[in-house]
Amino acid sequence: MSHKNSRIAILNIFVLVTTLTALSLPSVAQATGEAVHYNSQDKLFRLDGAGVSYVFGVNERGELQPVYWGQRLGEKDALPAAHSMMEVASFDLSTTTTPQEFSGWGAGLFVEPSLKITFPDGNRDLVLHYVSHAIHGNVLEVTLKDISREVFVNLRYEVDTATGVLGRSATIENRTKDPLVVEQAAAAAWTLPRAPDYMLSYLTGRWGAEFSLQREKIGPGQRVLESRRGSSGHQNNPWFAVSRGATQEETGDVWFGALAWSGSWRITVEQTQVQDVRITGGYNPFDFGYHLAPGEKLGTPVFYAGYTHSGMGEASRLMHRFELAQIAPQAPRPKVRPIIYNSWEATEMNVDEPGQVALAEKAASIGVERFVMDDGWFGQRKDDHAGLGDWYVNPQKFPHGLKQLIDRVHGFGMDFGLWVEPEMVNPDSDLYRKHPDWAINFTGRPRTLGRNQLVLNLARPDVREYVYTFLDKILTDNQIAFLKWDYNRNWSEPGWPAVAPEEQRKIYVKYVQNLYSILDELRAKHPGVEIESCSGGGGRVDLGILSHTDEVWTSDNTDPFDRLSIQHGFTQAYAPEFMMAWVTDSPHWLNGRATSIEYRFLSSMQGSLGVGANLNRWQPADFAAAKSMITAYKDVRETVQHGLLYRLISPLNGSEASATESVSQDGNQAVVFAFLHSSEFANPFPTLYLQGLDPQANYRIDLLYGKQFTPGPATATGAYWMSHGTDLALRGDYQAASFKLTRIR
Ligand code: DGJ
C-alpha cells in the first residue's frame, strides 16, 4: 500500500469511528430490557447496566471486536455490526489496527496481546476466533478458539445492573494433546472510544506514602502500571481512571477500573498508532510462564471496569457502591466497622498482659468497641529478628495464655482482635529450623531478607495446611472477633524447587489462590470473625483481597495531615468503609508534626475510625475530647462508611484547604470534614458548596467541631446549602472543622 493510500485509510478509520460514536446508522432492534442480549443478525452482544451500555461484535474474520462503551443507549438505538479496520500501511496491518476484546499474539499483532502461548513444537502463533456463546441472566460467556489448535478461551462478562460495572475474566483451556506454556494472560482488554484528549489517573506510592494520585495525558505508546513483587504492592495500585477532555470532579466522561488480584499484576494503558486507547490487565507477564497440561485450565483474575458521564467523583461513588454491594465478604450489606483500638504505636512488640489490660481499660472508657493486640505476643518475639512462624503464645509475656486478657477485654465491653503475619517466617524460628525449604527460594542461592524475614511458599500444599491449621486453632481456642493479617515484605528469589522446573512459575498463581482459599475456609468455619488486610500499611489493597477481608490498613503513616492526601487517593478507588484510620500521638513520629487531638480525629473520621495512640500518656482533656469525637462519629459513621462521597476541595497540589462530604444512602444525613493547612494573608477559608442534597428538602446544620464564619440559618433547603454554601471560621495552622446536616421531615 502506498503512503497516499495509507492516509486515505486513516481517514476511513476516522469516518468509521466517528460514525460508531455518533450512532447514526439505520435502526436495528437492539435492546430488549434485559441486561445482556445478542443480536444474531449483526452478531452483536450488548450489555446494559445503570447508565452504561457496552457493545461488541463478531467481525467478518471471526474476531471479537469492541463497538461501543459509554452512556446507556436507547433500547432501539442501532449499532453497526463489527467490521475490521483497514490496513493503514504495510506496517500497520488490519490485524493490529482492529481492536479486539481478547487478542491472541499472532497474525501480525503489534499492540498488547491478551494471551501469548508457546507450544512445544516452537509455534507461538495464536489467533482467537468466536465459536459460541451463552447468556445466563447478567452473565455472558463467549468461547473463542485458536484457528487451528485446540486452545479454547472462555470469556466471562458479568454486568452489575445497579452501577453498570462490568466484571471480565478469561479461562484458557488446553485441549491439545501436549502441554503448552501460557506466557501472558490478561483478564480483559478494554477499548475506549477514539479521542485525542484522554487523561490517565493512577495511584502510586511506597511504604508510608501510599495512594498518591497521579494524572497525566495519554500519549502514544504505553504506560505500564504493575507489581512484580508477588503481591499487589505499595508502588502501584491496580486501579485506573481515564477521563476525556475537560472532565472535572463532578462532570465529564470517565472510564475506570480495578483488577481483583493480590499477586503480581500488570495494567497496560496504550495509545496505539491509530490512536486507539486500550487498557489491558491481568497477570504480570514478567517472569510468568504457566505450564498448562493437556486438559488443564488457567483462570485469570477478574478485571472490573465502569463508565460515568459525571466526573471522577461519580466514578469513585460507583466503585464504592459496587464494592460494598458485590465485592465485600459481607456484601450486599456490610456491617459498619467497629471503632478499634490498636496497641502497635503505643507498645510496638513490648506487649504483655498487664500492659494490654491497662490500655484496653482506657480504650473502653472513650467508647472503643474492639481492642486489637498487635505484633509481639507469640513465639520468641522480642523484636523483628525472631518468632515469625512459631504461633504459640509467648509464656513469659502471657503466662495465662490469651484467655485472661480476652476475658478482661470482654469485661470492658469490647471484642478482641489479634495480629498475625501468617505467610512469613524468621530464620530464627523453630519453624524455619525444621522446614527451611518452606521459604520461597532458589536452591543453592542466597535468600534475601526483608525485615529479617522470608516469605513462606503458600503455593505448597504443606505450607498451606500449616498456615490454615494454626489459624484455625487460634480461632477455635480463643474468642477472637478479628484478625489483623499482616504481610511485611515482598518476594525475592521466587523459586519453588520442590516441583518440576516447568511447574515452578505456577507460584505466581497458586500462592494467591491458596491465600484466598485459606481466608475463605477460615471465614466459613468461624463466620463471626472479621479480617483486616495489612501489608506494612497499604501494600496489599485490591479488589481481590477485599473480596476475602473486611477492611485494610491504609498506611503506617498515621500523620493526620499526610493522611488527607493518602485518603484522597485511596477513596478514588476504594470505599471509605475499608479505610482504617487511627488517631495517634502528637507530635507525630514520622514527620514530627504537632496537631490538635480534634484535627487528628476529624482526619481519621473520614474513614473507619480507630485509635492507636499511647493512652498511658493522655491527659484528662484528651480523654474528654476523644470521647466526644467518638460519640459524634458513631452518629455519622453509617453515612461516612456507606454513603456517597463528594470531594469538595482536593488536598493535592499544595492546596491550603481540603474538604469532603458524605451523604447517607437514604439522603437524610450529610457530614462535612474541612481542613486548613495554614492561613496566609488572612485569606478566608473557601466557601463550601455542598453536593448531593435534595434541593427542595430542608436540612438542619449541627457543628460537630469548629464554628461557622458568621452564623447563618440553622435550617435551610438543600438548594441553599448547595448554591449559597456555608463559610467556616478556620484560621491558623492545621485547623479542622466538621458539621452535619440532618434532613427535616
Ligand atoms: C506493619 C503494620 O502496618 C503495623 O501496623 C504493625 O502491625 C506492624 N507491621 C507490626 O509488625
Calculate how far, in angstroms, residue 355's C-alpha sits from the geometric centre of ligand 1: 18
DSSP character at residue 438: G
Query: For position 87, what pLDDT does the model report?
Result: 87
pTM of the predicted model as reported, rounded to 2 decimal places: 0.95
Q: Cβ(559) to ligand 1 under 6 A? A: no
Which of the listed residues 207, 372, 375 should we mutate to test ligand 1's pocket, taking the one with most ligand atoms within 8 A of CB? 375
Task: For 639-653, write each residue's pLDDT tens digit.
Answer: 999 999 999 999 999
Query: For position 232, what pLDDT does the model report?
Result: 98
Q: Which residues have C-beta within 8 Å of that of residue 535, sequence separation ≥ 6?
A: 231, 234, 486, 487, 488, 541, 553
Q: Is 559 assigned a catalytic role?
A: no
Band the pLDDT of 21: cuts 50, 70, 90: very low
Residue nearest to atom 2 of ligand 1 (CA): 536
| CA–CA gap between residue 26 and residue 12 (Å, rounded) | 19
CATH code: domain 554-745 is: 2.60.40.1180
Where would I find the H helices in 611-699?
620-642
Which of the listed residues 207, 385, 388, 553 should we mutate to test ligand 1's pocket, taking the one with most ligand atoms within 8 A of CB? 553
Peptide bond into 332 cis (omega under 30): yes
Q: Cβ(545) to ligand 1 under 6 A? A: no
Q: Cβ(486) to ligand 1 under 6 A? A: yes
To the nearest whole percent, how much of the chain has pLDDT over 70?
A: 96
Torsion of CA 21, 24, 26, 27, to 10 degrees: 70
Catalytic residue among 253, 375, 556, 562: 556
Band the pLDDT of 28: cuts 50, 70, 90: very low
- The mean pLDDT of 256-285, rounded to a whole number, is 97
Which of the listed residues 206, 418, 488 should we mutate to test ligand 1's pocket, taking the one with most ligand atoms within 8 A of CB? 488
Domain with CATH 2.70.98.60 in the chain: 3-311
Calculate how far, in angstroms, residue 678's C-alpha sits from the geometric centre of ligand 1: 31
Q: Comparing C-alpha atoms, which of 644, 577, 550 is closest to residue 328?
A: 550
Q: Which atom of ligand 1 is nearest to the CA of 556?
A: 3
Task: For 40-55, write each residue's pLDDT tens digit.
Answer: 999 999 999 999 999 9
Query: For position 33, what pLDDT does the model report?
Result: 64
Calculate how far, in angstroms, residue 233's C-alpha sits from the geometric centre of ligand 1: 15
Q: Cβ(346) to ligand 1 under 6 A? A: no
Residue nearest to atom 11 of ligand 1 (CA): 375
Q: Which atom of ligand 1 is nearest to the CA of 342?
A: 5
Domain with CATH 2.60.40.1180 in the chain: 554-745
Tell me the C-alpha to C-alpha distance, in Å, between residue 458 and each of 440, 518, 551.
9, 10, 22
- The mean pLDDT of 209-233, rounded to a whole number, is 98
Which of the listed residues 341, 351, 418, 419 should we mutate to test ligand 1's pocket, taking the one with most ligand atoms within 8 A of CB? 419
Q: Which residues have C-beta within 8 Å of that of residue 274, sequence separation ≥ 6?
A: 10, 13, 85, 88, 92, 97
User: How many other β-carbons are positioned within 10 Å of the β-carbon of residue 450?
Assistant: 14
Calculate how far, in angstroms, residue 419's C-alpha sits from the geometric centre of ligand 1: 8
- The mean pLDDT of 568-583, rounded to a whole number, is 98
Band the pLDDT of 7: cuts 50, 70, 90: very low
- The mean pLDDT of 579-590, rounded to a whole number, is 98
Task: For 57-74, write each residue's pLDDT tens digit.
Answer: 999 999 999 999 999 999
Q: Residue 47 has which C-alpha cell? A: 450489555
Calculate how far, in angstroms, residue 486's C-alpha sits from the geometric centre of ligand 1: 7
Q: Cβ(551) to ligand 1 under 6 A? A: no
Burial class for 124, CB neighbours closer than 10 Å (0-12, 13-18, 19+)? middle
Q: Cβ(87) to ligand 1 under 6 A? A: no
Q: Is 486 assigned a catalytic role?
A: yes
Q: Which residues of 128-146 are buried (b: 16+ CB within 10 A; e: fewer)?
A: bebeebebeebebbbbbbb
Q: Cβ(193) to ligand 1 under 6 A? A: no
- The mean pLDDT of 587-608, rounded to a whole number, is 98
* Domain 328-536+543-552, CATH number (from 3.40.190.10, 3.30.9.10, 1.10.287.1080, 3.20.20.70): 3.20.20.70
| CA–CA gap between residue 410 and residue 139 (Å, rounded) | 45
Flag whether pLDDT at 23 surpasses 80. no
Q: Cβ(534) to ligand 1 under 6 A? A: yes
Residue nearest to atom 9 of ligand 1 (CA): 536
Query: For position 19, what pLDDT does the model report?
Result: 31
Residue nearest to atom 6 of ligand 1 (CA): 344
Q: Comparing C-alpha atoms, which of 41, 49, 50 is closest to residue 78?
A: 41
| CA–CA gap between residue 176 and residue 683 (Å, rounded) | 72
User: How many other β-carbons are positioned within 10 Å of the β-carbon of residue 618?
Assistant: 18
Calculate how far, in angstroms, residue 230's C-alpha sits from the geometric centre of ligand 1: 19
Fold of the CATH domain 3-311: Beta-galactosidase; Chain A, domain 5 (2.70.98)
Catalytic residue among 146, 375, 415, 486: 486
Residue type, 541: V
Task: For 515-536, write each residue's pLDDT tens digit.
Answer: 999 999 999 999 999 999 999 9
Query: For position 32, what pLDDT does the model report?
Result: 55
Flag whether pLDDT at 265 surpasses 70. yes
Taking a C-beta distance cutoff of 8 angstroms, is the pair 156, 168 a contact?
A: yes
Q: Residue 469 has which C-alpha cell? A: 491449621
Q: Which atom of ligand 1 is nearest to the CA of 374?
A: 7
| CA–CA gap between residue 615 and residue 632 (Å, rounded) | 20
To the nearest whole percent, how much of the chain has pLDDT over 90?
A: 93
Query: For position 8, what pLDDT does the model report?
Result: 31
Q: Which atom of ligand 1 is nearest to the CA of 537?
A: 3
Calculate how far, in angstroms, residue 536's C-alpha sits from the geometric centre of ligand 1: 6
Query: For position 34, what pLDDT does the model report?
Result: 86
Flag whether pLDDT at 732 surpasses 60. yes
Flag whether pLDDT at 178 surpasses 80. yes
Taking a C-beta distance cutoff of 8 angstroms, is the pair 187, 299 a contact?
A: no
- Rounded to 10°, the helix 560-573/597-604 angle is 10
Flag whether pLDDT at 434 surpasses 80. yes
Query: For position 247, what pLDDT does the model report?
Result: 87
Residue nearest to atom 1 of ligand 1 (CA): 536
Domain with CATH 3.20.20.70 in the chain: 328-536+543-552
Tell me the C-alpha to C-alpha distance, in Å, between residue 565 and each of 210, 606, 649, 689.
9, 12, 11, 21
| CA–CA gap between residue 168 and residue 157 (Å, rounded) | 5
Q: Comparing C-alpha atoms, which of 91, 104, 111, 106 is closest to residue 9?
A: 91
Q: Cβ(542) to ligand 1 under 6 A? A: no
Taking a C-beta distance cutoff of 8 angstroms, is the pair 268, 281 a contact?
A: yes
